[in-house]
């Protein structure tokens, strides 16, 4: 046994040794920083200059948990994320002591309650809506709220599995994203929308073109209900999908039909379609081969382009029209994208959606072409606004990422997602337990639908899609609010069909 004096001497020796190690490390870093030429701060302020980068990278986490108010953060604030978390847990939706939402912020939506709403036994229930009435196999879509496109590759295997099972439990569809159809999409036996991106992953031939044989193979799955031909997405309009090389595992490469370990970069558009006539030819061809509804997905840049699209549509037989059009906002999305495109290109969904709805209705195609709204819509008020603006359906990707446990760590493009949602690191994927998360996915979807129906009931209609622009007011810069129907007149006279 050591005496007290010996213990003191031992501890003192260890302390001196530790200090010597620290001094050696600091000296090494000092020399490295002084000699390097790429960072002026580190060269001028060796060692301590390193803390600038550390604090810069950690700043978003400190702000998120310690400094930002509940409704300050972007792209999604704490109040939005916590609502999703409460919904996934199946807890109550009541709060106490008043709203923390500022009603003076321009653009805020305020719904118009009816003086005599229907009695509680006549609650506003959403009804199925048929998509593709002229197809051999139309789709009676049961839910107004569904899962937007997230590819297997961009998100992890357990994430896809949880979404598939959760979608089945909630009775909603799951969009595959452009990465092809994996066994994990099919595992839950949910309704599936197969997205065809510009690289034709999953339905491509040896030269990267569209393969009718592969289309038929995909369509042979009863649960594949529709096909979505993607032109562009809000995160990167004018640029194809980006999947970093570290995410292209052998399995993902096999599903997509590409080499493993190489970055997967999709073309910026479909080479077969250089104008709207050729695009509509593609839609008709896919529908003829598969027998199922086919639609388009796009980020909107201008009214002129949308007008040209619909003029091309009405110049043909009504049966040849796309069965639906998904409008993605330019606010960015779930995957990797260049910042200039994410921040600066394409209209936000709150401007783009009414534009497309108005042009569709002007050409008399309201009952023929369904409009699906996507882009940063994750809470009941977002979905209710989109329905008021004219959407037939709403899809969300990031809302369902939150339901899977996403904490907005902003690491989607680095394969280091700490919650296992967007990583292929097996250790990190362990945190995403499919059996737990599938129930959270289902509860989130059900809660959204229930609360949109609650808003519809409050404004006095018997079905959410009967809500019109007059049922929502938009706060103006002076603090007052005006009906959306006054800002963007159109659909108040139209009936639900």
Provide the pLDDT for residue 425: 80
pLDDT band at residue 62 using 50, 70 and 90 as cut-offs: low
Comparing 66 with 416, the larger pLDDT belongs to 416
pLDDT at 438 over 70: yes
How many CB atoms within 10 Å of residue 456?
Answer: 27
CA distance 392 to 357: 10
Provide the pLDDT for residue 172: 97
Strands 242-243 and 264-265: antiparallel
**What pTM was estimated for this model as a whole?**
0.84
pLDDT at 338 over 70: no
pLDDT band at residue 98 using 50, 70 and 90 as cut-offs: low
Sign of CA dihedral 159, 161, 162, 167: positive
pLDDT band at residue 283 using 50, 70 and 90 as cut-offs: very high
Read off the pLDDT of residues 289-331 as tens digits, 9 standing for 90 and up. Answer: 999 999 999 989 899 999 999 999 999 999 999 999 999 987 7
Which of 293, 291, 322 lies closest to 141, judged by CA? Answer: 293
pLDDT at 493 over 50: no
Read off the pLDDT of residues 148-170 as tens digits, 9 standing for 90 and up. Answer: 999 988 889 999 999 999 999 99
pLDDT band at residue 237 using 50, 70 and 90 as cut-offs: low
Q: Which two tokens stand for residue 379?
A: 């809470």
pLDDT band at residue 84 using 50, 70 and 90 as cut-offs: confident
Q: Which residues, listed in sequence order, are joined to residue 145 by a DSSP beta bridge?
A: 394
424's torsion region: left (phi>0), alpha (psi -120 to 50) or beta?
Answer: alpha
pLDDT band at residue 495 using 50, 70 and 90 as cut-offs: very low
Range 193-204 average pLDDT: 94
CA distance 253 to 186: 18
pLDDT band at residue 364 using 50, 70 and 90 as cut-offs: very high
Compute CA distances 315 → 280, 318, 363, whole Å. Answer: 11, 9, 11
Read off the pLDDT of residues 110-163 as tens digits, 9 standing for 90 and up. Answer: 999 999 888 877 778 899 999 999 999 999 999 999 999 999 888 899 999 999
pLDDT band at residue 459 using 50, 70 and 90 as cut-offs: very high
pLDDT band at residue 22 using 50, 70 and 90 as cut-offs: confident
pLDDT band at residue 73 using 50, 70 and 90 as cut-offs: low
Please, which residues have CB within 8 angstroms of residue 429's CB and are 6 or more apart in sequence?
156, 157, 158, 420, 423
Read off the pLDDT of residues 386-412 as tens digits, 9 standing for 90 and up. Answer: 999 999 999 999 889 889 888 776 666
How many CB atoms within 10 Å of residue 94?
Answer: 5
């Amino acid at each position: 046994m050591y005496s007290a004096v010996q213990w003191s001497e031992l501890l003192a020796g260890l302390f001196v040794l530790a200090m010597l190690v620290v001094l050696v490390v600091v000296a090494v870093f000092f020399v490295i920083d002084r000699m390097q030429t790429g960072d002026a701060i580190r060269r001028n302020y060796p060692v301590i200059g390193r803390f600038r980068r550390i604090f810069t990278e950690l700043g978003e986490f400190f702000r998120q948990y310690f400094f930002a108010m509940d409704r300050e953060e972007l792209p999604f604030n704490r109040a939005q994320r916590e609502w999703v978390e409460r919904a996934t847990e199946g807890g109550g939706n009541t709060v106490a002591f008043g709203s923390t939402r500022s009603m003076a912020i321009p653009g805020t939506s305020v719904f118009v309650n009816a003086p005599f709403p229907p009695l509680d036994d006549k609650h506003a229930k959403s009804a199925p809506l048929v998509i593709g009435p002229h197809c051999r196999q139309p789709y009676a879509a049961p839910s107004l709220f569904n899962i937007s496109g997230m590819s297997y590759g961009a998100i992890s295997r357990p994430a896809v599995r949880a979404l598939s099972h959760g979608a089945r439990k909630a009775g909603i569809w799951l969009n595959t994203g452009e990465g092809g159809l994996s066994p994990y999409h099919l595992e839950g036996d949910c309704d599936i929308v197969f997205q065809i991106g510009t690289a034709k992953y999953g339905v491509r031939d040896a030269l990267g073109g569209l393969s009718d044989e592969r289309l038929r193979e995909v369509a042979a799955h009863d649960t594949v209900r529709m096909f979505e031909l993607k032109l562009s997405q809000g995160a990167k309009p004018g640029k194809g999908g980006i999947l970093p090389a570290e995410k292209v595992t052998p399995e993902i490469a096999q599903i997509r039909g590409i080499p493993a370990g190489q970055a997967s970069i999709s073309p910026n558009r479909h080479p077969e379609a250089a104008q709207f006539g050729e695009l509509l030819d593609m839609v008709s061809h896919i529908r003829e081969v598969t027998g199922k509804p086919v639609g388009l997905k796009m980020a909107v840049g201008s009214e002129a382009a949308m007008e040209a699209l619909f003029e091309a549509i009405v110049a043909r037989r009504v049966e040849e029209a796309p069965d639906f059009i998904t409008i993605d906002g330019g606010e960015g999305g779930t995957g990797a994208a260049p910042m200039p495109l994410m921040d600066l290109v394409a209209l936000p969904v709150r401007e783009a959606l009414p534009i497309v709805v108005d042009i569709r209705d002007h050409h008399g195609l309201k009952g023929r072409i369904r409009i699906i709204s996507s882009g940063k819509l994750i809470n009941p008020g977002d979905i209710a606004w989109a329905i008021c603006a004219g959407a037939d359906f709403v899809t969300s990707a990031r809302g369902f990422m939150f339901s899977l446990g996403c904490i907005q760590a902003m690491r989607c493009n680095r394969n280091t997602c700490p919650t296992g949602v967007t990583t292929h690191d097996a250790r990190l994927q362990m945190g995403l337990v499919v059996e737990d998360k599938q129930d959270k996915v289902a509860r989130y979807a059900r809660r959204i639908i229930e609360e949109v129906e609650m808003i519809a009931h409050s404004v006095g209609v018997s079905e959410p899609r009967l809500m019109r622009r007059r049922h929502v007011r938009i706060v103006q810069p002076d603090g007052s609010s005006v009906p959306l129907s006054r800002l963007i007149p159109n659909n108040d006279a139209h009936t639900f069909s």
